[in-house]
Amino acid sequence: MKKIWDFHGGIHPKENKDQSNQSKITNAGIPPQLILPLQQHIGQRAELVVAVGDRVLKGQLIADAHGPVSVAVHAPTSGTVTAIEEHEVPHPSGMSDLCVFIDTDGKDEWCELYPCDDYSTLSPTEILGRVRKAGIAGMGGAGFPTEIKLRPPHEDKVNTLILNAAECEPYITADDRLMRERAEEVILGFEIMAYILQPGECLIGIEDNKPEAIKALREAAKETQIEVVVIPTKYPSGGEKQLIKILTGKEVPNGRIPADISIMCQNVATATAVYRAVRFGEPLISRVTTFTGDCIANKGNQQVLIGTPVSWLLEKNGYLAQKGSRLVMGGPMMGFTLHQTNIPTVKTSNCILAASQKELPQPDPAMACIRCGMCSEVCPAELLPQQLYWFAKGQEFEKAEHHNLFDCIECGACSYVCPSSIPLVQYYRYAKGEVRQIKADQEKSNQARERFEFRQERIEREKEEKEAKRKARSEAAAKAQAAKKAAAEAEAKEGKTEPAPAPESVKTDIKVNAAPEVTLEGLQKKLLMAEDKLSKMKAAWKDAQENNPERAEKLALAVESSKANVAKFKQQITDLGGGDASGTPSAPTGPSLEELESNLEKTKGKLQLILNTLEDAKQNHPDRVEKLERAVAKNHTRVASAQAALTEAREQQTTESKG
């Protein structure tokens, strides 16, 4: 007989187990629709691998593990994926999460499985791969990915492997029935776990209120090294740390996990899931769930497909809604109230408790703490619940943390015994949430500060770089200037007789100085030359118009520009010498009237010519049309300007003649 220890505190609530442990596990059957949440475990949500409209077979993967801490989800029966959307999931918040909806077809058609007759032919890594592929999460309640928990620790090996069969929570008998009816599976699953971890000893911790299960387990474990250890019934002996204390006398240090003291704890149902995954290749698609409470007519345990709606199950088991006061998922101590029944069962749903008003009466209103100290007497984690309560109520979360708030396992023993009906465990949950929130905020603000400081630094650096560049540029410019100056001076010294190659500024000076010298005579000379050129051009143009129309166009342009030249010089002369310009014999006031008239005529003629060509082009050469149109527009303006010049000249003449 193995020596056992005791843990501090604990309570003895009414067990209420024989309501549901009298009958065999029955099959709940296939509901018309399954709702499968993608997150039924601790860690990252699984990643979808099916789409709406896909037909899926029983055991087919519908969402794969995504990231290191994640668990896959499989189709519990054959059917069609009809929707993938947010739906309420079993969670204390009553909030929604992404779910896959499968309309079942009743055929229950398996996909291809890969059984393995002898697990010892597989390596531990291969077995772990199978466990991961089977989507197994801890079925005791928390839902931690089993594959990760089963990985052998890096440093030292596991000395003690414990199978948690305590099932200390009142009402729940799912593990009890499972052990009674499938003890071999439990033992085989446990042996597979032992094969992976190679522990020094394998213990099954089971409370003494399950004699049939103990007998069955002992029978099944006869030929193995597994020892079934019977422990006294006390809540919460099924808590991982409490069970370790009972079986080994060791305590898990604050903030550490059992693996740190070479101990590992697994749940009974998880062991059977591991067995089925390794032996038959079956993924985790169903589990045993207890249906109990005064409001259920057919109390007992059922093999339920994951994703079966609670409402469907309740209806099937004869739910007396009018009598019901509270619907709880999980046990009465650590479970949570369901706000509605249209939610699915998940991998961690071990019990549906439909309690009557008499069974779970409304809690009395909380009264003042009378400091009786009963809560600290029952606390299995040896905390100071009263103290924690004050800190949580006063929002002194830091102090609560210093009083080891996070060692609280939220078993609810303190609230259970509190004579003032203070919802103590609720306060601790609230405080834990707040502390986590504060820490997350702190981390975020630290990150923001880092980013802000980095940005400031970057802006500063960019500014400096800009400044440095600007400085470099101005220095280079100054140097170039100095070099130029030096060169100029050197040249000036070398040959004083030679005119120095004048810098730009000097050149402009000369221009400015020379400007007055461009006097009337110069301009008049230029004007004469321009007029001469103009007349020559005109002659050439006339000639070309008759013989070479293409050239004529070009020449026309040249004539225009010469005319402009002439006009410019005339203007300059007028500016310079006032009336002198008109008086110059060789330069009468602009081209004579006749000239202007003829000019106008010519332009008009040219316009007509182009218009004709345009008409022609429109019919024969569409690609030339655009070009010609532009030319027409140009010539229109020319005609207009010629007309204007003519009228102006006429007016001038009349004024002159009058004068």
| Nearest-5° Cα angle at 655, 531 to 600 | 45
- Chain positions 181 to 210 lying near another protein, rule: CB under 8 A, are none
CB of 438 to another protein, least distance (A): 8
Interface residue with another protein among 35, 134, 172, 418 (CB under 8 A) is 418
Interface residue with another protein among 416, 568, 598, 624 (CB under 8 A) is 416
| Nearest-5° Cα angle at 586, 584 to 588 | 70
Which of 499, 478, 498, 500 has its CA nearest to residue 488? 500
| Owner of token pair 């040219």 | 606
Is 441 among the residues that bind another protein (CB under 8 A)?
yes
CB of 244 to another protein, least distance (A): 23
Is 448 among the residues that bind another protein (CB under 8 A)?
yes
CB of 563 to another protein, least distance (A): 49
Is 437 among the residues that bind another protein (CB under 8 A)?
yes
Nearer to another protein, 341 or 415 (CB): 415
Extract long-range pairs of 554-561: CB within 8 Å, 24+ residues apart.
556/606, 559/534, 560/638
Is 360 among the residues that bind another protein (CB under 8 A)?
yes
| Angle between helix 549-577 and 593-620 (nearest 10) | 150
- Chain positions 104 to 143 lying near another protein, rule: CB under 8 A, are none
Interface residue with another protein among 121, 362, 513, 620 (CB under 8 A) is 362
For residue 15, the number of C-alpha atoms closer than 13 Å in the C-beta half-sphere is 16
Is 426 among the residues that bind another protein (CB under 8 A)?
yes
Report residue 567 as tokens. 């006009």
Q: How far is CA 146 from CA 3, 69, 264, 270, in A?
A: 29, 10, 11, 8
Report residue 160 as tokens. 């003690």
CB of 327 to another protein, least distance (A): 10
Is 432 among the residues that bind another protein (CB under 8 A)?
yes
Could you tell me if 341 and 309 are in contact, meaning their C-beta atoms sit under 8 angstroms apart? yes
Could you tell me if 78 and 55 are in contact, meaning their C-beta atoms sit under 8 angstroms apart? yes
Q: CA 448 to CA 1: how far, in whole Å?
A: 59
CB of 208 to another protein, least distance (A): 16
CB of 471 to another protein, least distance (A): 25
Residue 303 identity: Q
Is 95 among the residues that bind another protein (CB under 8 A)?
yes
Is 535 among the residues that bind another protein (CB under 8 A)?
no
Report residue 561 as tokens. 């520009």
Interface residue with another protein among 144, 312, 427, 569 (CB under 8 A) is 427
Which of 174, 207, 175, 204 has its CA nearest to residue 190? 204
- 3-class SS of residue 481: helix
| Nearest-5° Cα angle at 102, 351 to 340 | 40
Q: Of 106-114, 430-438, 488-496, 514-522, which segment contacts another protein by CB under 8 A?
A: 430-438
Q: How far is CA 652 from CA 207, 277, 563, 655, in A?
A: 129, 114, 19, 5
Q: Of 416-424, 565-573, 589-597, 607-615, which segment contacts another protein by CB under 8 A?
A: 416-424
The secondary structure element, H or E, covering residue 161 is strand 160-164
Q: Of 153-161, 182-190, 410-418, 497-505, which segment contacts another protein by CB under 8 A?
A: 410-418
- Chain positions 302 to 341 lying near another protein, rule: CB under 8 A, are 326, 328, 332-337
Interface residue with another protein among 27, 120, 446, 571 (CB under 8 A) is 446
Which stretches of the chain bind another protein, using CB under 8 A? 11-14, 39, 89, 91-93, 95-97, 326, 328, 332-337, 360-363, 366, 374, 377-378, 393, 410-412, 415-418, 421-427, 429-430, 432-434, 436-437, 441, 444-449, 451-452, 454-455
